[in-house]
Amino acid sequence: MQTVEAAPRASVLIESMRDIGYSLETALADIIDNSLTAGARNIQILTPPDRASPRIGILDDGDGMTRDDLLAAMRLGSRSPLEERERTDLGRFGLGLKIASFSQCRRLTVVTRRGGETNAAIWDFERVAETDNWLVEIPNDPDSLPCADSLGERGTLVLWENLDRVVRDTSEEGFAHFVRRMDEARSHLELVFHRFLSGEPGHRKIAIVLNNRPLEPFDPFHSSHPATIAGPVEKIRVGTQEVVVQTFTLPHHRKVTTEEWERHAGAAGYVKNQGFYLYRQRRLIIYGTWFGLSRQTELAKLARVRIDMPNGLDSEWKIDVKKASAQPPYQVRERLRRIIETMGANSRRIYTARGQKLISDNRLPVWNRVQDKGEIVYRINRDHPIISTFSSQLQSADLQRKFGDILEIMGSALPMDTLFADLGGEPDKVGGNKLSDEALGHAVTITVAQLQGSGLRMTEIRQMLPFAEPFRSNWDRAEALIEQMNAEGG
């Protein structure tokens, strides 16, 4: 049998590799992975304000590399994905540094310092295109390269230049777009590396700074809030290793500030961010997915599940090059399916418990919830003291009938679709009309008088009204009016 070498053309393949699917934020995260694997405690992302030639530098104080280490790191496929790695290694394919960088720029420079020796290497697309060969440039004076003077006694600088995928043009508008994209990347990194930024028992705390502004950890589970419901920690055995799972139900919007509610909703909102959050060595890989085991629903939007997997299970989870896709192995998948059922119930209970309490405790509902043959209907309660008193004051049966028709029309015209959309999008901003002092006083007078006429004592009335609308939503004013009536009656 004859064999023929069929090596890929360097100029063609290097261009093709740019479109593997990285975004600016996922590419930056891949470079930061390398810094963390190298033991860095401080990482800086630098974007010098040079509109004519914008660039991005990622600088760390990690171990740095020798010349041989650097050349190996610049080689495509520098390590086999089948190779066993250190427990703290965040890489897998030996492609992240190169592919992530190529996706954003046409010139990649790496400057590294270790043991007092500085080395540098450059991938330049123009040189590869000219020679059609995999040639890495080795500069004679690495210390003179841009941003190299920022290196400490040890560490590595990754420099992206010719940012054709990030910077539209060198105009003021084009540079403003670049600044906006960097701000969006900041939010992504604050989520992906939040456990490194906050520090955890047994692990060092990492500082990541973007243009002299430290990144703030964003905990998607709001785990420090007292109203967050954290489930027990569960371990699932996969071969000789373990996957650790813990469930969280975020607080109802009435239990947090507006700022907290909006921040934990994320740009995509609560419905899109519900689901599993998969971590590989504490680094967030994928989030806001149910892995096809359930649908994203409004009532489950507070449900989030943290999954911790070791890097030894990469192949079982089918982790991709970008570390942005995964599939749980069978034994984990089946357990997650059962967890979803419990999680969905917890999240739904947070949103329905308040309504159920009003239904069970409220003996004076303005609206009655009627369930019949699988359908739920809301009807105006004609026995409510305010409504029944007004109806009895109408002087003819014809007027009373017409008033009943009005109530029936109002009950049938509830804007259910609009209410559902508003409650799903911004529930904290949805409420009833503001009740005037005159209208509230009228409601208090009629309701108290009718309840007293039915034989209830004032102490019983005071226990009942805080759960009944419209008094519950206006209780401070209603209570003052009741106290005034009680004093006048006494």
Domain residue extents for the chain: 10-214, 229-356, 367-489
d(C-alpha 288, C-alpha 303), whole Å? 10
The alpha-helical segments, DSSP class H, found in 103-171 are: 125-131
Q: 229-356 adopts what CATH topology? A: Ribosomal Protein S5; domain 2 (3.30.230)
List the one residue out of 140, 106, 148, 114 whose CA is nearest residue 14: 106
pLDDT tens for residues 124-182? Answer: 999 988 999 989 999 989 888 888 888 989 999 999 999 988 887 777 787 888 888 99
**Separate counts of helices (H) and strands (E) for the chain:** 17, 15
Phi-psi region of 202 (alpha: psi -120 to 50; beta: other; left: phi over 0): left
C-beta neighbour count of 424 within 10 angstroms:
16
Strand pairing report for 303-309 and 275-280: parallel
C-beta neighbour count of 149 within 10 angstroms:
9
Location of structure tokens 């992504």: 188
- The enclosing H or E element of 420 equals helix 416-425
d(C-alpha 490, C-alpha 487), whole Å? 5
d(C-alpha 117, C-alpha 214), whole Å? 29
Location of structure tokens 């029309």: 409
For residue 15, count CB atoms less than 10 angstroms from its CB and return exposed for 0-12, middle for 13-18, buried for 19 or more: middle
d(C-alpha 314, C-alpha 326), whole Å? 9
d(C-alpha 458, C-alpha 455), whole Å? 10
56-60 sheet: strands from edge to edge: 117-124, 107-114, 155-161, 56-60, 42-46, 207-210, 213-214
Q: 10-214 adopts what CATH topology? A: Heat Shock Protein 90 (3.30.565)
Output the pTM of the full model: 0.70
Residues of the chain with pLDDT under 70: 77-95, 320-325, 343-363, 371-374, 423-428, 489-490
* 355's tokens: 């309504």
List the one residue out of 249, 190, 195, 204 whose CA is nearest residue 225: 249
Residue 82 has φ and ψ, to the nearest 5°, of -85, -10
In this prediction, residue 349 carries a pLDDT of 59
* 341's tokens: 């059922």
In this prediction, residue 71 carries a pLDDT of 93
* Residue 64 CB partners (closer than 8 Å, separation 6+): 38, 112, 113, 114, 115, 154, 155, 156
C-beta neighbour count of 75 within 10 angstroms:
14
Please check whether residue 151 is in contact with residue 113, taking contact to mean a CB–CB distance below 8 angstroms: yes
pLDDT tens for residues 317-354? Answer: 877 665 666 788 888 888 888 888 776 555 555 555 54
d(C-alpha 92, C-alpha 94), whole Å? 6
In this prediction, residue 347 carries a pLDDT of 58
Residues of 49-72 as b/e, b for ≥16 C-beta within 10 angstroms?
A: eeeeebbbbbbbbbbbbeeebbee
